[in-house]
Amino acid sequence: VDKSSQRLTIAIQKSGRLSTESIALLQACGFRFSLHEARLLAHSSNQPVDLLRVRDDDIPGLVMDGVVDLGLVGENVLDEVRLERKATNISYDFTRLRALEFGQCRLSIAVPKEDNYQGLADLQGKRIATTYPYLLQNYLQQQGISASNAILTGSVEVAPRAGLADAICDLVSTGATLEANGLIEKEVIFRSQAQLIQRPGSLPAAKQAIVDQLLPRIDGVQMAKE
Ligand code: ATP
Ligand code: ZN
């Protein structure tokens, strides 16, 4: 990515739960894109705007490092990266422009159904499997609970049965995955939706003008949905 470029660069998730709605929103805001499955970069044909299509986990860092101008990402991933960077002394500055009203989910603690779970105190000294170690520890600390993380990048919900952890902390939408793995949701620790974020510092005037045009269009699209 050429940082001196006058084209506004927007990072979105390449393929996953946020992709379709991210592209649909930008198109509804008047940007035209032709997307080629294999390509990382997509140029808008009617605006000086480029889409960078990456894994959602990479989006907050790309924005915070100023490698891209804007990013569309789940608040769960955004906050996890922010806490991780804060803890490891990497800059975590960014501007939140809009909550996007899609990608809703919650990060919850779930325990095996047969456990006689009474409350958070039952997690004291236990091991909790998660992909979100910073959000989890941030929450436990606020609640005065000390538990250890078992950090997994996937298949978190099988960890208790596999003997890797006593509980899990994972994203939930319907609870069907939990149910299928004999788990029951007990504590919601974070509620999330997709966010539009901007890199720190001011944008060159040409890019700022596009953002100034984009934001009221997003508001319009959201208003029309209500
Ligand atoms: P990537 O390959 O980009 O890393 P991923 O597997 O990490 O993809 P997805 O499962 O596509 O990510 O989810 C992307 C984001 O969508 C989540 O971080 C969350 O913000 C949001 N989301 C919305 N609904 C759900 C859901 N039911 N389960 C999980 N995530 C959801
Ligand atoms: Zn991801």
* CATH label of the domain that carries residue 98: 3.40.190.10
DSSP assignment string, 91-114: ----EEEEE-S-S-EEEEEEEETT
pLDDT at 3 over 60: no
Q: Would residue 1 count as lying in a domain?
A: no
Residue with the smallest CA separation from ligand 1 atom 7 is 56
Check whether residue 183 and residue 198 sit in a common domain. no
Check whether residue 181 and residue 136 sit in a common domain. yes
CA 56 – CA 75 distance, rounded (Å): 11
Check whether residue 115 and residue 86 sit in a common domain. no
Q: How many Å lie between the centroid of ligand 1 and the Cα of residue 167?
A: 21
Could you identify the atom of ligand 1 that is nearest to the CA of residue 77? Answer: 18
Check whether residue 138 and residue 163 sit in a common domain. yes
Q: How many Å lie between the centroid of ligand 2 and the Cα of residue 201?
A: 26
More confident residue, 222 or 174: 222
CB atoms within 10 A of CB 83: 18
Q: Summarize pLDDT for 17-47 with one digit per residue, the tens.
A: 999 999 999 999 999 998 887 789 999 999 9
pLDDT at 1 over 70: no
Domain holding 112, by residue range, is 105-192
Check whether residue 63 and residue 124 sit in a common domain. no
Q: Which pLDDT belongs to residue 175?
A: 86
Check whether residue 12 and residue 95 sit in a common domain. yes
The stretch 49-53 carries a mean pLDDT of 96
Q: Summarize pLDDT for 69-122 with one digit per residue, the tens.
A: 999 999 999 999 999 999 999 999 999 999 999 999 999 999 999 999 999 999
Q: Would residue 164 count as lying in a domain?
A: yes
Q: Would residue 44 count as lying in a domain?
A: yes
Q: Which pLDDT belongs to residue 2?
A: 52
Q: Would residue 3 count as lying in a domain?
A: no
Could you identify the atom of ligand 1 that is nearest to the CA of residue 76? Answer: 20
Check whether residue 48 and residue 83 sit in a common domain. yes
Check whether residue 149 and residue 136 sit in a common domain. yes
Check whether residue 183 and residue 201 sit in a common domain. no
Counted domains in the chain? 2
Q: Which pLDDT belongs to residue 37?
A: 76
Check whether residue 183 and residue 218 sit in a common domain. no
CA 39 – CA 36 distance, rounded (Å): 5
Q: How many Å lie between the centroid of ligand 1 and the Cα of residue 106?
A: 11
State both tokens at 43. 């140029």
135 and 128 in contact (C-beta within 8 Å)? no
Check whether residue 98 and residue 15 sit in a common domain. yes
Q: Return the best residue to mutate from 54, 56, 77 for the ligand 1 pocket (most ligand atoms within 8 A of CB).
A: 56
The stretch 59-73 carries a mean pLDDT of 98
Q: Which pLDDT belongs to residue 4?
A: 57
Q: Summarize pLDDT for 185-199 with one digit per residue, the tens.
A: 999 999 999 999 999
Q: Summarize pLDDT for 127-154 with one digit per residue, the tens.
A: 999 999 999 999 999 999 999 999 999 9
Could you identify the atom of ligand 1 that is nearest to the CA of residue 18? Answer: 16
Q: Which strands sit side by side in the sheet containing 95-99, from one edge to the other?
A: 41-43, 49-54, 8-13, 70-74, 194-198, 95-99
Q: Would residue 2 count as lying in a domain?
A: no
Q: Which pLDDT belongs to residue 87?
A: 97
CA 141 – CA 42 distance, rounded (Å): 42
The stretch 160-180 carries a mean pLDDT of 94
11 and 71 in contact (C-beta within 8 Å)? yes
Check whether residue 122 and residue 188 sit in a common domain. yes
Query: Lowest mean pLDDT: which of 4-8, 52-56, 127-131?
Result: 4-8
What interface predicted TM-score (ipTM) does this complex get? 0.96
